Chains A and B, each alone.
Chain A
């Protein structure tokens, strides 16, 4: 399968600081990447769709000014959690669409666990 990496895998920060999470497709180019959040024992929740070279599309209820997404290249998307608060503590997972023939398949990164103190 395709390889998607995330960095960092784990981060602890103080309330009020900003945290940047990187998502990279290592062996393919991804025009579209996705950012999800998952709280313990809950389902994946799509936060936003990131398209290379254009603005991200946010899901309803997700604050675009708080969760800044930049998809600057075909292999890199970043999510910045601005002014993080304890309620932002969660498991953040990115995924990337890989095109094979005419089919697109979404591959997930390993996730970033964020703890805001």
Chain B
């Protein structure tokens, strides 16, 4: 079982729709969760971090965390063609202590005009 699992996609949504990206993780000791966006040929860019169960909203993005189910998701409202990218879920065991991130393989999102 992979430590962090994501559906590779592509996930195709029309412009203006809600895109829902999902991620599961295997380490119950994980405490820090991140979503990164990576455009083709570019490096990852941080979108959201979440540490507590529940929802966290930032503009059109909402991260959802359920530690009991070991599940974290990212919702993108009013999806735009510029949101087309690969979205990487990343998990860290602690919140300090110079710990490495464990990445999923990413979900490719395609938003059609």
Contact = CB atoms under 8 A, between A and B. Distances in A.
Interface in B1-41: 32, 34, 36, 41
Interface residues of A, number: 23
Contacts of A108: 36, 43-46
Contacts of A93: 43-44
Main secondary structure of the interface of A (DSSP, over half): strand
B105 interface: yes
B55 interface: no
B80 interface: no
Contact of A106 (B42, B101, B105): B101
Contacts of A46: 100-101
B49 interface: yes
Contacts of A106: 34, 46, 90, 101
Given A44-B88, A105-B49, A99 B43 contact: no
B108 to A, nearest CB: 10
Interface in B28-77: 32, 34, 36, 41-46, 49, 51
Contacts, number: 55
Interface residues of B, number: 24
Contacts of B103: 43-44
A49 B100 CA distance: 8
A34 B88 CA distance: 17
A25 B49 CA distance: 20
Contact of A104 (B46, B88, B98): B98
Contacts of A102: 95-96
Given A1-B46, A110-B42, A104 B106 contact: no
Contacts of B49: 103, 105
Interface of B: 32, 34, 36, 41-46, 49, 51, 88, 90, 92, 95-101, 103, 105-106
Shortest Cβ-Cβ A-B pairs, 7 listed: A32-B98, A111-B43, A108-B43, A43-B105, A93-B43, A108-B44, A103-B95
Given A43-B105, A44-B88, A91-B43, 10 more contacts: A32-B98, A44-B103, A46-B100, A46-B101, A97-B98, A102-B96, A104-B96, A104-B98, A107-B46, A109-B43
